[in-house]
A and B are shown apart, each in its own frame.
Chain A
Amino acid sequence: MTALAEERATVTTGQSARPRLPSLARIVPYLQAMPLTLILGAFLLLPILMIAVVSFWDYDFAAMYPDFLLTNYTDTLGSWVTWKTYLNTLKFAVIVWGLTLFIGFWVAYYLAFHIRTAAMQMVLFLVCTVPFLTSNIIRMISWIPVLGRNGLVNSTLVSMGIVPAPIEWLLYSEFAVVLAMVHLYTLFMVTPIFNTLMRIDRALIEAARDAGANGWQVLWHVIIPLAKPGMAIGTIFVVTLVMADFSTVQVMSGGQSASVALMMKNQMSLLQYPAAAANAVVLLVLVLLMVAGILRVVDIRKEL
């Protein structure tokens, strides 16, 4: 199409036709897309295929042997521990999702509707963004002096006489895991919601007000429905990050809680790669199903 149009243009304007093969223009996008395709092919597709293959292999303490066994799957899925671990991971995902959605929406709403100048919006948005560009592990560690047995929260509560002895469950507990995850992942909710809120036509809100809607009605019937695509994209980020997490669970629970990825990591450190691979396949299928479900609500290409 474009090549044809170009040809016609050169003919009509009588410009000296550039010595260009008509097929060249057509292969340009393929050349431009090639590096991305090659990198994702080599480091995403191939490894996933390899995992799928290896998950059927046999293994002992020293090596893996090509085979076609279902034992890795039956062992994993037949174990009560696996199911408990999956449920525990899903529990983290649901709680963290709910909290980040609530916090993320109100932060984005505040930035989009209550901050009047674009410059101030940008500054406050950056204030929210900067911590997310620093190390996750450092941000986890930073809770130790705050939540620890002799940490800021406990010493304050004790000295104020609110509790007689330091609270033990602040650090190295599931509470700490959830708190750290919310701390780490809320921005992934704020950004997409902020993006959709900024694109809402302000005339719609005025129209709703003119039609007699009060503040809550505007929020509930106009703003939230229009913000749903942003919430969906934020949900994809948060849910996949929590489902894949092992370092937060390990560091913040002090080894007292489990997640699927942590279980995989332990299998890997015992060199049980085929067992870890079977788990990886199950986890991957679960995550992709969740994402596919969310994608039915939102068309990402339209939201960018």
Chain B
Amino acid sequence: MSHEKRTLEFFVLTAFFALFVLFLYGPLSAILILSFQGPDGGLTFPLNGVSLHWFANLFERQAVGDFGGSFRRSLTLGLMVMAVTVVVSLLAGLAFRQKFRGATALFYLSVASLVVPSIVISLGIGVVFQQLGLRPSWYGSAFGAHLTWTLPFGVLIMFAVFNRFSPAYEEAARDLGATSWQTFYHVVLPIIAPSLIGVGLFGFTLSYDEFARTLMTSGTFNTLPLEIYGMTTNVTTPVLYALGTVTTGFSFLVIAATLGAIVYVGRRRART
């Protein structure tokens, strides 16, 4: 591209991008810093000493409700949603490679799942369970509610992956005498592995952070986002920030681990 015109536009946009990144991370870093607030400190700057007081406070059960239990529930639910999202999206992606009756309808149903307001789904599942006489629970109704949010992402990603997937590899494998299962396991699966890991990351984090769809469907026990939401209205100490720091740190760990896995899979593939 033309270099003489690039300079001004480049610097303006670099500044714009830097501001955007500051906008994204500034507030997050504010609560990160404030979660180390001293025991007498408040919800805003300045820091009144530095301590781990609020983190300790977090693990005292009576102080902030059931943080440990809700974290365990959210973690389990996230892993369940992740596993189902990966498997179901992969199968659906494979299905969409062939022609079958209802393919277009199913595709648009997935898109609809993405655009239907989450509170409508929450209400609908709540009413269905009530009318069927079932007890809503985080591992039942909320599990299904989360899947309506994670599956469309998974399916659309797999759809995009297979759109770019050259059938030449499979044909080559078949010419060499591989069965269809061998072709899938030794050829298709390794090629799409990084995308599947990405779908898993989406499934887990979207479920782990999901709030609106859990609202009417979680039953007696809260998931972590519900617990945090409850805290926003009645907790006025930095323990709220400590919880924010811990959960955000956990999210970062999950993302880092996933990216590590993708890089590892890519390297291993490059070597063989």
A, B bound: yes
| Given A43-B144, A138-B248: A131 touches B119 (CB 8 Å cut-off) | no
CA A39 to CA B255, docked complex, whole Å: 27
- Residues of chain B in range 31-82 having any CB-CB distance to chain A below 8 Å: 31, 34, 43-45
Contact call B13/A114, Cβ cutoff below 8 A: yes
- Residues of chain B in range 206-263 having any CB-CB distance to chain A below 8 Å: 208-209, 211-212, 215-216, 225, 228-229, 232, 240-241, 243-244, 247-248, 251-252, 254-255, 259
Contact call A142/B44, Cβ cutoff below 8 A: no
Contact call B229/A240, Cβ cutoff below 8 A: no
B88 within 8 A of A: yes
A284 within 8 A of B: yes
State the Cβ distance, B18 to closest chain A Cβ, in Å: 10
What would 18 A/B residue contacts be, using CB atoms closer than 8 Å?
Answer: A29-B100, A36-B91, A39-B144, A40-B110, A45-B109, A47-B125, A106-B17, A126-B259, A130-B255, A134-B205, A141-B244, A145-B45, A152-B45, A155-B45, A215-B2, A244-B118, A280-B120, A283-B120
Contact mask for chain A residues 24-52; partner B; CB cutoff 8 A; 1 contact, 0 none: 00001110110111011011111110110
| Given A35-B91, A134-B251, A139-B28: A265 touches B16 (CB 8 Å cut-off) | no
Most central of B17, B163, B211, B240 by chain A CB within 10 Å: B17
State the Cβ distance, B43 to closest chain A Cβ, in Å: 6
Other A-B pairs beyond A30-B100, A47-B124, A144-B43, 19, CB < 8 Å: A33-B106, A35-B88, A36-B95, A37-B106, A43-B144, A44-B109, A51-B124, A103-B20, A131-B24, A134-B248, A135-B244, A136-B209, A136-B211, A137-B225, A141-B240, A144-B44, A183-B23, A247-B229, A288-B115
Contact call A287/B98, Cβ cutoff below 8 A: no
Contact call B212/A107, Cβ cutoff below 8 A: no
State the Cβ distance, A109 to closest chain B Cβ, in Å: 7
Contact call A50/B127, Cβ cutoff below 8 A: yes
Closest B residue to A149 using CB positions: B44
| Given A145-B45, A244-B118, A246-B119: A40 touches B225 (CB 8 Å cut-off) | no
Closest B residue to A20 using CB positions: B180
Write out the residue numbers on chain B whose beta carbons fall within 8 Å of the beta carbon of A287.
115-117
Closest A residue to B21 using CB positions: A127
Residues of B within 8 Å of A, CB-based: how many?
A: 95
A268 within 8 A of B: yes
Instruction: Rank and list the top 6 A-B pairs by shortest CB-CB distance, nearest first.
Output: A47-B124, A244-B117, A32-B95, A142-B27, A43-B144, A304-B160
Contact call A265/B119, Cβ cutoff below 8 A: yes
Contact call B25/A131, Cβ cutoff below 8 A: yes
Residues of A within 8 Å of B, CB-based: how many?
A: 85
Contact call B119/A264, Cβ cutoff below 8 A: yes
Write out the residue numbers on chain A whose beta carbons fall within 8 Å of the beta carbon of B115.
236, 240, 287-288, 291
Closest A residue to B20 using CB positions: A107
State the Cβ distance, B4 to closest chain A Cβ, in Å: 10
Contact call A261/B128, Cβ cutoff below 8 A: no
* Secondary structure class of chain B's binding surface, majority of residues: helix
A residues near B (Cβ < 8 Å) are 2, 18, 28-30, 32-33, 35-37, 39-40, 42-48, 50-51, 54, 103, 106-107, 109-111, 113-114, 124, 126-128, 130-131, 133-146, 148, 150-152, 155, 183, 186, 205, 209, 214-215, 236-237, 240, 243-244, 246-247, 251, 261, 264-265, 268, 273, 276-277, 280, 283-284, 287-288, 291, 300-301, 304
CA A288 to CA B6, docked complex, whole Å: 42
Contact call B91/A32, Cβ cutoff below 8 A: yes
State the Cβ distance, A193 to closest chain B Cβ, in Å: 14
B151 within 8 A of A: yes
Write out the residue numbers on chain A whose beta carbons fall within 8 Å of the beta carbon of B117.
240, 243-244, 261, 280, 283-284, 287
State the Cβ distance, B93 to closest chain A Cβ, in Å: 8
Write out the residue numbers on chain B whose beta carbons fall within 8 Å of the beta carbon of A45.
109
Write out the residue numbers on chain A whose beta carbons fall within 8 Å of the beta carbon of B23.
183
CA A209 to CA B6, docked complex, whole Å: 13
CA A157 to CA B103, docked complex, whole Å: 58
CA A54 to CA B84, docked complex, whole Å: 30
